[in-house]
Structure 1
Amino acid sequence: MTAATENASQVESFGVPWEGSYGYVQAIRRGDTIYLSGQLAHDGENLVAPAPVDEDGRVTDFSNTGEQLRRTYANAQELLRRFGASLDDVVEEVVYALDVDAVLQVAGQVRKEAYGREDPRVASTLLGVTRLAFPQQVIEVKFVARV
């Protein structure tokens, strides 16, 4: 691989408003590595399965965690497809969760479905956080893939 090829990059976005307001791309490829920004459950401009929140913006029910996680993996798969890659190429993921227990109840099944195997071959870290980008968001996942 030449230095020019190694430093060449491709970027991908969804065209959602928060990309411009925050100032980032959804994914970038450098050399043989694809970095995906934290993915969340959306279908364009709308959140998928938004969690109910109270008057202070705190989530009151985490029962949509599985649905949000499924859509998050689907969005990651779409971005990877644009690079000629798939979840099979993911080597690392970091899961950010408002409620770790809610994620642990659904993540095994959802992740196995997303990766298409009983033993997903991916390094994974699960972190509990106090806030995500949107009040109704309960999960976000960052990915790194090698192709």
Structure 2
Amino acid sequence: METQNHGVPWETEYGYAQAVKRGDTIYISGQLSHDGADLVAPAPVGVDGRVTDFSAMEAQMRQTYANAAELLGRFGATLANVVDEVVYVLDIPAAFAVAGKVRKEAYGRPDPQVASTLVGTTGLAFPEQLVEIKFTARV
């Protein structure tokens, strides 16, 4: 078994590996839009702790795929090796508005060959976070 991390504080705080390779399968923990310990395109949050604007969905989704691609690259894999993804979002209409474009760009083809599930949820790891994506890849 081989593992990889991004080196961000929440890995130690929560206690997990970002990616685990066992045999020919790579399991990527839910990825989010960060560059190091800084969130990329954080959504504005009101005093009640709820997101007030979902327009950063595209930027967050794009960075999330980039972070997954980085982890996969450490195992000699790419997003082309992904066979399954689960996309968790705070707002399904906002995700649908950008997901097709972003996913096609990330996977580099007009018909990504990956099983995909979109799940609406009431919250993610950080209040400013709009999307989290979990991946399974085969090499």
TM-score range, shorter chain: over 0.9
Runs of 4 or more off by more than 4 Å in structure 1? none
What stretches of structure 1 of length at least 5 have no aligned partner? 1-8
2:35 maps to 1:43: yes
Q: CA deviation at 1:138?
A: 0.3
Q: 2:124 aligns with which of 127, 132, 135?
A: 132
Q: CA deviation at 1:56?
A: 1.6
Which structure has the larger Rg?
A: 1
CA distance in 1, matches of 2:48, 2:94: 21
Q: C-alpha offsets along residues 57-78 of structure 1, whole Å, 9 cap, x if unaligned?
A: 1000000000000000000000
What stretches of structure 2 of length at least 5 have no aligned partner? none
Partner of 2:95: 103
Q: Could you tell me the TM-score, scaled by structure 1's length?
A: 0.94
Q: 2:54 aligns with which of 31, 53, 62?
A: 62
SS in 1 for 2:88: strand
How do 1:1-147 residues align onto structure 2 when only pairs under 5 Å count?
9-147=1-139
CA distance in 1, matches of 2:49, 2:127: 6
Letter in 2 for 1:37: S
CA distance in 1, matches of 2:8, 2:48: 25
Q: CA deviation at 1:94?
A: 0.1
Count of aligned positions: 139
Q: Percent identity?
A: 67
SS in 2 for 1:131: coil
